[in-house]
């Protein structure tokens, strides 16, 4: 069982005296798998002060110097991969392949954003009378605060910390109290970096700091402080609004927020039905349905609706349950949801839907075993009146409904306060182009879910703003200054 005491400040865990502990629960067993300290305002202030003190030196390092230190951290992460992945499996209930992907995204983000900084070119502006030379210079914003959620702990860390460190920003990281172990271990390894092998090339103290604890105890002091220039979050829309509200009374800050999703899926009559079902069901049940871009409202043309449902049920019935290496590599495995509270909320969504006319075609209940497992569930005839369509499901419930006309389905798809991802399945170029133009989502995927580190990821409306990954992520972490030199 792993335990992290106090806060990680200036490359050391300290200040744990008198702090209560938070138990970390393994969703596969319902049993404790680790502990962290419940930090509060004092630890938040100390971490911010350390990040502020480190910011000038870190920001002035050349990209080559920062890259060498970040490569040293990557080497430490890779050397401890098995240990870190085991922590991920324990605290999240992930299957082994999913946990390995989560780990690899952190490692990949470190190197990717360093290379993007090398390609971050400025702009020279013409002078009509040739009287001056004007150009832009990118400067790191300084101290950043990162509030991260639990579904992909290390991917989420990489999405925010990768561009922050590459651009020269310092950070205070607040992991989810549900899944703090792997994140804490990864960041603890910064203290082990030794670039030159003689102890003189270590990672600078204070560049990255960690405060574990609850959102209620930490988010307000972190966001209300005058120290951070940028507040970053991967989490719910509610958390994003809280962060904006807490910060407003003290200073004008910048935000990089990837918030909730309500992804519409539009399956048209001419779609490749087998491919669409495989893609939609696979994405829906991956990570226990706990993915911000997971299908939430599945609209299927009336002419293929029952065929779609039958194929979806067949796919859902093939899932086994577990985590880690419990199953054969080719077996589809559904991992547990995060908490007992999450499971009860999902079961209530099914109960609400059936009371309002939905058909449960498969699943709908709790799995009779230890942990927080829910059966892969297929609902037919969902409507806007059902709670599972009015908000993000974030669990293994595939809620389907039929449609008749293109105008109807595009209007329904956009009838949401969220706008993170949307999916379209069609063989028609004109339909695909209409979707590209009309779907109000930050990510629009046609004939297959596609996400990659090179592609910008972010939402519209209440799903936040700013972009993670791709070269566009750097914009959030840079101040762009215009320089003019008179001739």
Structure tokens at 476: 């959030």
The whole-angstrom separation of Cα 214 and Cα 194 is 33
pTM over 0.95: yes
CB 147 within 8 A of CB 457: no
In which residue ranges of the chain is CATH 3.40.605.10 found? 2-259+463-486
> Taking the mean position of all CA atoms in its chain, how far away is CA 465?
13
Q: What is the mean pLDDT of residues 150-169?
A: 98
Indicate the range of 117-131, 174-188, 318-332 predicted with least confidence.
318-332
Structure tokens at 270: 């001419």
CA angle 351, 388, 402 (to 5 degrees): 105
Residue 199 — pLDDT band, cuts 50, 70, 90?
low
Beta carbons within 10 angstroms of residue 192's beta carbon: 15
pLDDT value of residue 195: 86
The pLDDT tens digits of the residues spanning 407-456 come to: 999 999 999 999 999 999 999 999 999 999 999 999 999 999 999 999 99
Residue 468 — pLDDT band, cuts 50, 70, 90?
very high
The whole-angstrom separation of Cα 291 and Cα 323 is 17
Residue found by looking up tokens 């009374």 in the block: 249
CB 285 within 8 A of CB 319: yes
Taken in order 178, 181, 183, 184, is the CA torsion positive or negative? positive
pLDDT value of residue 322: 84
pLDDT value of residue 327: 61
CATH superfamily of 263-451: Aldehyde Dehydrogenase; Chain A, domain 2 (3.40.309.10)
The pLDDT tens digits of the residues spanning 320-377 come to: 998 776 665 556 899 999 999 999 999 999 999 999 999 999 999 999 999 999 999 9
In terms of DSSP H, where are the helices of 263-339? 273-285, 305-317
Q: What is the mean pLDDT of residues 51-65?
A: 98
The pLDDT tens digits of the residues spanning 287-330 come to: 999 999 999 999 999 999 999 999 999 999 999 998 776 665 55
* DSSP bridge pairs for 14: 7
* DSSP bridge pairs for 419: 460
| φ, ψ for residue 260, nearest 5 deg | -60, 160
pLDDT value of residue 196: 78
Distance in angstroms between the alpha carbons of the first and the last residue of the chain: 66
Averaged pLDDT score across all residues of the chain:
96
Picking from 435, 436, 442, the residue whose alpha carbon sits closest to that of residue 420 is 442
CATH architecture group of domain 2-259+463-486: 3-Layer(aba) Sandwich (3.40)
Taking 80 as the threshold, does the pLDDT of residue 164 lie above it? Answer: yes
Burial 250-262 (b: 16+ CB within 10 A, else e): eeebbbbbbbbbb
The set of catalytic residues is 258, 292
Picking from 252, 250, 205, the residue whose alpha carbon sits closest to that of residue 229 is 252
CB 180 within 8 A of CB 212: yes
Name the region of 334 (left: φ>0; alpha: ψ -120 to 50; beta: rest): beta
CB 17 within 8 A of CB 82: no
Taking 60 as the threshold, does the pLDDT of residue 285 lie above it? Answer: yes
Q: What is the mean pLDDT of residues 268-283?
A: 98
**H or E stretch covering 32:** strand 31-37
Picking from 270, 365, 305, 332, the residue whose alpha carbon sits closest to that of residue 98 is 332
Taking 80 as the threshold, does the pLDDT of residue 1 lie above it? Answer: no
- 485 Cβ contact partners less than 8 Å away, ≥ 6 residues apart: 132, 133, 134
Beta carbons within 10 angstroms of residue 119's beta carbon: 8
The whole-angstrom separation of Cα 113 and Cα 158 is 10
Instruction: Compute the half-sphere exposure of residue 266: CA atoms within 13 Å on the CB side of its CA.
Output: 29
pLDDT value of residue 217: 97
pLDDT value of residue 132: 97
**H or E stretch covering 110:** helix 96-118
In which residue ranges of the chain is CATH 3.40.309.10 found? 263-451
Taken in order 102, 86, 204, 66, is the CA torsion positive or negative? negative
The whole-angstrom separation of Cα 22 and Cα 400 is 39
Which DSSP state fits 303? G
pLDDT value of residue 326: 63
pLDDT value of residue 323: 79
| φ, ψ for residue 373, nearest 5 deg | -95, 135
How many residues in total does the chain contain?
Answer: 487
pLDDT value of residue 201: 75
Structure tokens at 243: 């962060």
Query: With pLDDT > 90 as the criterion, what percentage of the chain qualifies?
Result: 95
The whole-angstrom separation of Cα 336 and Cα 343 is 9
Structure tokens at 458: 């972010």
Q: Which residue has the higher pLDDT, 100 or 199?
A: 100
Name the region of 230 (left: φ>0; alpha: ψ -120 to 50; beta: rest): beta
Q: What is the C-alpha R_g of the chain? A: 23
């Amino acid at each position: 069982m792993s335990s992290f005491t106090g806060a990680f400040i200036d490359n050391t865990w300290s200040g744990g005296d008198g702090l209560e502990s938070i138990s970390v629960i393994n969703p596969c067993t319902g049993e404790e798998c680790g502990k962290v300290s419940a930090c509060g305002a004092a630890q938040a202030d100390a971490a911010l002060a350390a990040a502020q003190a480190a910011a000038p030196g870190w920001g002035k390092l050349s990209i080559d110097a920062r890259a060498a230190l970040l490569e040293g951290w990557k080497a430490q992460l890779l050397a401890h991969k098995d240990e870190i992945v085991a922590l991920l499996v324990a605290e999240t209930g992930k299957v082994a392949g999913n946990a390995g992907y989560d780990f690899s995204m952190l490692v990949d983000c470190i190197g990717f954003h360093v290379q993007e900084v090398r390609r971050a070119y400025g702009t020279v502006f013409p002078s009509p009378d040739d009287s001056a030379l004007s150009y832009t210079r990118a400067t790191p914003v300084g101290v950043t605060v990162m509030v991260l959620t639990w579904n992909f702990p290390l991917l989420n860390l990489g999405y925010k910390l990768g561009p922050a460190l590459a651009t020269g920003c310092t950070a205070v990281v607040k992991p989810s109290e549900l899944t703090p172990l792997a994140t804490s271990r990864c960041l603890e390894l910064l203290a082990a970096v030794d670039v030159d092998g003689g102890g003189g090339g270590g990672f600078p103290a204070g560049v990255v700091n960690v405060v574990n604890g609850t959102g209620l105890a930490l988010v307000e002091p972190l966001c209300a402080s005058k120290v951070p220039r940028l507040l970053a979050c991967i989490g719910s829309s509610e958390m994003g609004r809280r962060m904006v509200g807490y910060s407003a009374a003290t200073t004008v800050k910048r935000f990089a927020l990837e918030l909730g999703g309500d992804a519409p899926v539009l399956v048209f009559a001419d779609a490749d039905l087998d491919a669409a079902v495989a893609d939609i069901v696979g994405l829906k049940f991956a990570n226990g349905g706990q993915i911000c871009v997971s299908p939430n409202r599945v609209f299927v043309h009336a002419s293929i609706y029952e065929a779609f449902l039958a194929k979806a049920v067949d796919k859902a019935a093939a899932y086994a349950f577990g985590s880690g290496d419990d199953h054969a590599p080719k077996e589809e495995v559904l991992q547990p949801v995060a908490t007992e509270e999450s499971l009860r909320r999902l079961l209530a969504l099914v109960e609400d839907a059936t009371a309002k006319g939905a058909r449960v075609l498969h699943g709908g209940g709790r799995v009779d075993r230890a942990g927080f497992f829910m059966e892969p569930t297929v609902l037919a005839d969902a409507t806007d009146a059902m709670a599972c369509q009015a908000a993000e499901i974030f669990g293994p419930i595939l809620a389907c409904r039929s449609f008749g006309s293109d105008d109807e389905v595009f209007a329904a798809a956009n009838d949401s306060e969220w706008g993170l991802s949307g999916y379209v399945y069609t063989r028609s170029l004109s339909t695909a182009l209409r979707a590209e133009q009309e779907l109000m989502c930050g990510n629009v995927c046609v004939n297959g879910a596609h996400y990659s580190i090179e592609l910008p990821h972010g939402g519209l409306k209440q799903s936040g703003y700013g972009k993670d990954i791709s070269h566009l992520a750097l914009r959030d972490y840079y101040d762009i200054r215009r320089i003019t030199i008179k001739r």
